[in-house]
């Protein structure tokens, strides 16, 4: 038995497509159930889901996707829990591909992949960011980062390790935090590149910057109990970490340059190093979607800036409701 769990909040515009795709899977011979967790929606999300005959549970107030997924897992009957989001549209072989890796009893978690049908410049750039990262993990025997747009876990492992951390009140880093926690304990998780879901990526620069800032902001909280993740994980290229640090140095040099103009030459050198670190990704873009080279320098700079300022803001101005004391389940090894 397999359980597909979909958290949904005000998802009336997308839940129909998502459920139709999940219920029309091909080649999947195992029995499965679909659980939609309505996280305090103010629209007709629950009514639409009920119309498909799936299990629907409702949280009376918005608790966040972490709590919603945990609520679904708590009532799930399946030995394998598969998660996706209400704005995703899985391919017809998605469940088959998500389940395959579990034939190895050592595997406890599986990560699928994003795709997008959007034609805009920004969503195409976002898709290539993901595609580049998928290339970096495709040959790995084990990964430590699973996104919940296409994720699967053994139910026993999921429950024994407390599920997603409910202290995160919004969609942010709750998915990576859980997979990092499992990796810290030595569990094996793998990448299934053919387990594909289609998604509506950021439509414009504003949405892109807001999302990246939010990731950085909430990651600052996670780093308080997982400081080692500041330097390494299988999802984030080392070059991206370098770009955040280099941009900080560039801005500092610009500030100093207001008083000592000679420092501007150092700034030029730092900019050169910054974009040198982006060469592998730029080469990838040139082969996959060459026109994106036009906006790539700007978008790479925005990415580093939004993530970096998000991290800084999270460290300097943490939410008092999210503290290490509120997360005792994470302070272990």
Token readout for 292 is 């994106």
pLDDT band at 322 (very low <50, low <70, confident <90, very high): low
Instruction: Label residue 171 by pLDDT band (50, 70, 90).
Output: confident
Q: Which has the higher per-residue pLDDT, 26 or 260?
A: 26
Reference 99, options 172, 159, 146, 151; nearest CA is 151
Q: What angle do CA 171, 82, 126 make, to 5 degrees?
A: 45
Q: Could you tell me what percent of the chain has a pLDDT over 70?
A: 96
pLDDT reading at 327 higher than 60: no
Task: List pLDDT tens digits, range 77-130.
Answer: 999 999 999 999 999 999 999 999 999 999 999 999 999 999 999 999 999 999
Count CA within 13 A, CB hemisphere, residue 124: 15
Q: Rounded mean pLDDT of the chain? A: 93
Given a cut of 90, whether residue 62 has pLDDT beyond it is: no
Evaluated on CA atoms 134, 148, 128, 23, the torsion sign reads: positive
Report the C-alpha gap between 219 and 173 in whole angstroms: 6
pLDDT at 291: 97
| Domain residue ranges in the chain | 2-204, 238-330
Radius of gyration of the chain (CA): 21
Alpha carbon distance 25, 139 (integer Å):
27
Helix (H, G, I), strand (E, B) or coil at 90: strand
What confidence score (pLDDT) does residue 93 get? 98
DSSP state of 165: -
Please tell me the predicted confidence (pLDDT) of residue 321: 57
- Residue 41's φ and ψ, nearest 5 degrees, are -65, 150
Other CB atoms within a 10 A radius of the CB of residue 319 amount to: 12
* Span 1-11, pLDDT tens digits: 999 999 999 99
CB distance 83 to 151 below 8 Å: yes
Which alpha helices (H) appear in the chain, and where do they start and end?
15-23, 45-51, 65-75, 94-99, 121-137, 155-160, 174-184, 205-222, 238-257, 264-277, 279-288, 296-316
pTM for this prediction: 0.92
Q: Which CATH number does the domain 2-204 belong to among 3.30.70.80, 1.10.4160.10, 3.10.105.10, 3.90.550.10?
A: 3.90.550.10
Instruction: Report the C-alpha gap between 28 and 93 in whole angstroms.
Output: 8
pLDDT at residue 331 is higher than 60: no
With contact defined as beta carbons under 8 Å apart, do 201 and 294 qualify? no
- Between 65 and 322, residue with greater pLDDT: 65
Measured in degrees and rounded to the nearest 5, phi and psi for residue 117 equal -100, 5
Say what the pLDDT of residue 167 is: 86
CA 273 to chain centre: 28
5: buried, middle or exposed (CB in 10 Å: 19+, 13-18, 0-12)? buried
pLDDT digits (tens, 9 = 90+) for 196-218: 999 999 999 999 999 999 999 99
Q: What contacts 253, CB < 8 A, 6 or more positions away?
A: 263, 264, 266, 267, 270
Q: Residue 263: pLDDT band by 50, 70, 90 thresholds?
A: confident
Average pLDDT over residues 71-75: 97
């Amino acid at each position: 038995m397999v359980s597909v769990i979909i958290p949904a909040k005000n998802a009336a515009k997308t839940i129909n497509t998502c459920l139709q795709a999940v219920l029309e899977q091909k080649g999947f011979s195992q029995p499965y159930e679909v659980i939609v967790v309505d996280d305090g929606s103010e629209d007709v999300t629950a009514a639409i889901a009920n119309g498909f005959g799936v299990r629907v549970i409702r949280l009376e107030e918005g608790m966040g996707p972490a709590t919603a997924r945990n609520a679904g897992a708590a009532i799930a009957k399946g030995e394998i829990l598969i998660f996706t989001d209400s704005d995703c549209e899985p391919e017809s072989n998605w469940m088959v591909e998500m389940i395959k890796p579990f034939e190895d009893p050592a595997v406890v978690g599986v990560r699928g992949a994003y795709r997008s049908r959007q034609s805009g410049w920004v969503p195409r750039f976002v898709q290539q960011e993901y595609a580049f990262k998928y290339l970096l993990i495709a040959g790995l025997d084990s990964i430590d980062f699973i996104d919940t747009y296409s994720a699967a876990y053994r139910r026993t492992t999921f429950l024994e390790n407390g599920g997603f951390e409910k202290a995160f009140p919004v969609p942010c880093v709750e998915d990576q935090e859980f997979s990092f926690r499992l990796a810290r304990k030595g569990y094996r998780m793998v990448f299934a590149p053919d387990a594909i879901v289609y998604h509506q990526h950021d439509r414009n620069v504003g949405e892109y910057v807001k999302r990246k800032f939010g990731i950085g902001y909430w990651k600052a909280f996670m780093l308080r109990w997982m400081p080692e993740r500041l330097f390494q994980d299988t999802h984030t290229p080392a070059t991206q970490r370098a770009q955040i640090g280099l941009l900080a140095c560039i801005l500092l040099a610009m500030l100093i340059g207001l008083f000592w103009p000679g420092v501007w030459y150092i700034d030029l050198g730092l900019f050169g190093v910054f974009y040198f670190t982006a060469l592998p990704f730029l080469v990838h873009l040139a082969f996959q979607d060459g026109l994106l080279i036009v906006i790539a320098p700007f978008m790479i700079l925005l990415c580093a800036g939004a993530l970096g300022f998000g991290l800084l803001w999270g460290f300097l101005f943490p939410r008092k409701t999210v503290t290490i004391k509120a997360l005792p389940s994470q302070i272990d090894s």
